[in-house]
Amino acid sequence: MIITRFKEDFYNVVRKTHVLMITSNDVDSLCTTAILSHLFTCDDVMFTVVPVDGYEELNDALRARQDYTSSIVLINCAVTCPILEILNVPPNSTVFVVDSRRPLNHFNVFEANQIRILVNEAERSSLGIPNLDDVIAKDEDSESDDDDDEYSEGSNDGGGRRNIIDRVTRRAVRKENKRLWESQKNKILWQYYEYNWHSTSTAVQMLELAAELDRASAELMWYAAIGVSSQYTDRLIPIEGYTDTCVTRMKPFITKFSPKNAAKSDDLLRISFGKELPLALYTHWNLYNAMAVNEYFACKTKNWTQKGEKNMKELLAKMGITLVETSRKFESIESKQKKELIEILDKEMGIGFASFTVHLGYSGQVNAADIARAAALRIESPHNVEPMDRFQAALRIIRAAISGPKDQQVILVDAFERSYQKMLKMIWHLVGTAINQSEIVSTGAFYLMSSQRAISAEVAESRHFLLNFTHFLLKAFACSKRGRSGKPLIVTFPLPQSEKQPDGWHVVTGIMPLATAFEDNTFKSIIGRAFERAAKDQQNMQLSFDSFDNSIITMRATDRARFFDKLQSILETSGI
């Protein structure tokens, strides 16, 4: 069932006994868990945290606890599939689902006992949930058959013949009604499940719960800021959705925890929200590098081509930025000049991005989007590193930003420079190679880039990497030639063999066409659904839908050709 009163029907219920939190290993879930853990600690509630990478680990965690009788909280896991049917949920537990994925599986919605999905009242009406009677059959048919039998017993011959005809007719009518009902049900469900998208960050929702409990603080607001930023940096929501959440849902907290004229002091935590360049990590890098790997500038200058570097220099000159300025570490530039540079770049990029920045005392500042990026890379992969190790490492990154200058130094330098910048360069390099060597083919219904190049598990198993790469690639592809913005892009990579991953498997993902007009500030995508349909009824194909995102799947290299064939016919008829 759906519950909308988070405090009364969720928090006050779960706090009475032990709470088991099973969380997906991504940044928004991490922040959600951090906020809930904080609330539980304040109230002396015993809890357990188990991070999981996908359905298999989730099921393992549940199977090991069949005698559990308290509350289970699933954070960004499994709301899109029928939980009681496919998972071994402990029979005497209550399962609360905190999830930003949509649509909610209708079996979960109509399950009246064990499953409780937290949904904001305001969102409920826009979810398009079908009526119970239209999609879940009632058990009437068996009764009616009995009536018929009774009826036929006490009748004479002449009446009997008429009765038989009646009976047959009645049965035929019932069958026809059932068929009509089924057909109608399928149509409704088809529409209901057509798109997949993400709703408000769960961390933001938990921050609101904290406020209801009078426990909101700057620290919790920081977690929520990273949570919503991660939805943007993970490419789950468009910038409009991100801005909308910040400006509406985060507003009361912005007012409370970052007043304009706050006093500066050594241990005071301030979080400000303001205009910012959507240029990843530029404050911890130099401008040249940050721009070179950035989608906007790379595509504008096509800097993966031979003329690329020349284009970049011309662009810089046009903007009035010297090469010297771009090669200096941004931090070391004088603040007046910094401001000027930022204004020039902002005008050029014209993207209208604003972000949360944390100021601790007098030391430097850190941007929530950058932290979300670094944390994503750390928490999502590689899968053969213990999920809990990744979870705690990412948490340390997030906390480093608010715990003081010393922590900032060591942890963040490592996270930013050694890991994330490397990944940005890798993405740029892969995009450039794919374009230069024409690795993208058109199959009529979609574009396909099938990479032969092996990449490390650190990136291949990370949703953050896959989606950023795919978006970048599509943009680069479309800007290289006209007429390329009407088809979706599917991308596959070979997965390196490991303990958890047998050899010869590929990861497959896809995104909507560039020209898609997204409504409601969300990335509504049909790709996941198309994958599911392409995989259905396929004998001899081994596909894994282990990820909680149905648009990221893995399969054997040898099954790809058949899969893409099927996918083609499905996408052709879906009329994109």
Partner 1 sequence: MDDSFQPDALLNAASSSGEAAEEIGNEEEDEELITPAEVLLKMKRAWQNEAAAPCILPHQYEILEILVDQIDGMDENLARVKDKTQLKVSIHRAELQRINYLTSDYMRIRLKKIEGNVRRIMTQHNERLRQGKPPLLSEQELRFAEKYAKAEAQLLGKSVLGFLPTPVQKIPHPEEDADLSSVYLQVLEDNVENVPLPDYTDPTAEIIVSLERDSIHLIPFAPIRDHLENDRVRLL
Partner 2 sequence: MDAHEGIADAAIRLVQELKHNPNIIPPYDATLMRQCIDTLNRLYDQNARSLMDPTGDPSISPEQITTQREQRTAAIIYIWRCTTAYIHERACRIRSLRWRFGGILPISIRNNLSEAEIEFFNSYSSALADFQSSLGESGVNLMANTEPPKHLFVQVRVKEDYGEFETNDGNVVILNKNSLHSLPRQDCEMLIRRGILEIANP
Please give the residue ranges that form the binding site for partner 1 (CB under 8 A).
Answer: 15-16, 43-45
Q: Determine if 378 is a binding residue for partner 2 (CB under 8 A).
A: no
Out of partner 2, partner 1, none, what residue 314 binds, judged by CB under 5 to 8 A for its kind, is none
C-beta separation of 275 from 353 below 8 A: yes
Q: Which stretch binds partner 2 (CB under 8 A): 46-54, 106-114, 188-196, 303-311?
A: 46-54
C-beta separation of 204 from 225 below 8 A: no
Q: Would you list the DSSP string of 83-138?
A: HHHHS---TT-EEEEE--EESPPHHHHH--SSEEEE--HHHHGGG-PPPHHHHS--
Nearer to partner 1, 46 or 319 (CB): 46
| Interatomic CA distance for residues 367 and 106, integer angstroms | 38
Minimum distance from CB of 556 to partner 2 (Å)?
Answer: 30
Burial letters 496-531, b for 16+ CB under 10 A, else e: beeeebeeebbbbbbbbbbebeeeeebbebbbbbbb
Nearer to partner 2, 240 or 389 (CB): 389
| Interatomic CA distance for residues 50 and 46, integer angstroms | 14
Out of partner 2, partner 1, none, what residue 15 binds, judged by CB under 5 to 8 A for its kind, is partner 1
Q: Would you list the DSSP string of 425-449?
A: HHHHHHHHHHHHTT-EEE-SS-EEE
Minimum distance from CB of 44 to partner 1 (Å)?
Answer: 5
Nearer to partner 2, 3 or 218 (CB): 218
Among 300, 302, 328, 399, binds partner 2 (CB under 8 A): 399
509 DSSP β-pair partners: 491, 552
- Would you call 450 helix, strand, or coil by DSSP? strand
Q: Estimate the share of the chain in helix, then strand, then coil, as percent rounded to the nearest 5.
A: 55, 15, 35
Triad 227, 244, 232: Cα angle to 5°? 40
Q: Determine if 499 is a binding residue for partner 2 (CB under 8 A).
A: no
Q: Determine if 44 is a binding residue for partner 2 (CB under 8 A).
A: yes
N-to-C CA span, the chain: 33
**Whole-number Cα distances in Å, 278 to 77, 274, 353, 368, 369:** 29, 12, 6, 12, 9
Among 386, 503, 520, 572, binds partner 2 (CB under 8 A): 386
Nearer to partner 2, 220 or 440 (CB): 220
Among 8, 56, 64, 191, binds partner 2 (CB under 8 A): 64
- Would you call 472 helix, strand, or coil by DSSP? helix
Triad 355, 476, 458: Cα angle to 5°? 65
Nearer to partner 2, 34 or 511 (CB): 34
Out of partner 1, partner 2, none, what residue 49 binds, judged by CB under 5 to 8 A for its kind, is partner 2
Nearer to partner 2, 210 or 299 (CB): 210
Q: Determine if 223 is a binding residue for partner 2 (CB under 8 A).
A: no
Nearer to partner 1, 11 or 493 (CB): 11
Out of partner 1, partner 2, none, what residue 16 binds, judged by CB under 5 to 8 A for its kind, is partner 1
Q: Which stretch binds partner 2 (CB under 8 A): 44-52, 122-130, 455-463, 535-543?
A: 44-52
C-beta separation of 196 from 524 below 8 A: yes
Q: Determine if 300 is a binding residue for partner 2 (CB under 8 A).
A: no
Nearer to partner 2, 37 or 538 (CB): 37
Half-sphere exposure of 385 (CA within 13 A, CB side): 18
**Whole-number Cα distances in Å, 94 to 85, 202, 241, 472:** 15, 19, 32, 42
Q: Determine if 46 is a binding residue for partner 2 (CB under 8 A).
A: yes
Q: Determine if 317 is a binding residue for partner 2 (CB under 8 A).
A: no
Nearer to partner 1, 16 or 161 (CB): 16
Minimum distance from CB of 16 to partner 1 (Å)?
Answer: 6
Out of partner 2, partner 1, none, what residue 518 binds, judged by CB under 5 to 8 A for its kind, is none
Q: Is the peptide bond before 252 cis (omega within 30 degrees of 0)?
A: no
Total of chain residues touching partner 2, rule CB under 8 A: 26
| Interatomic CA distance for residues 261 and 258, integer angstroms | 8
Out of partner 1, partner 2, none, what residue 50 binds, judged by CB under 5 to 8 A for its kind, is partner 2
Minimum distance from CB of 256 to partner 2 (Å)?
Answer: 24
Structure tokens belonging to residue 280? 């990843």
Binding site for partner 2 (CB under 8 A): 17-18, 37, 40-41, 44-50, 61, 64-65, 67-68, 70, 386-389, 391-392, 396, 399
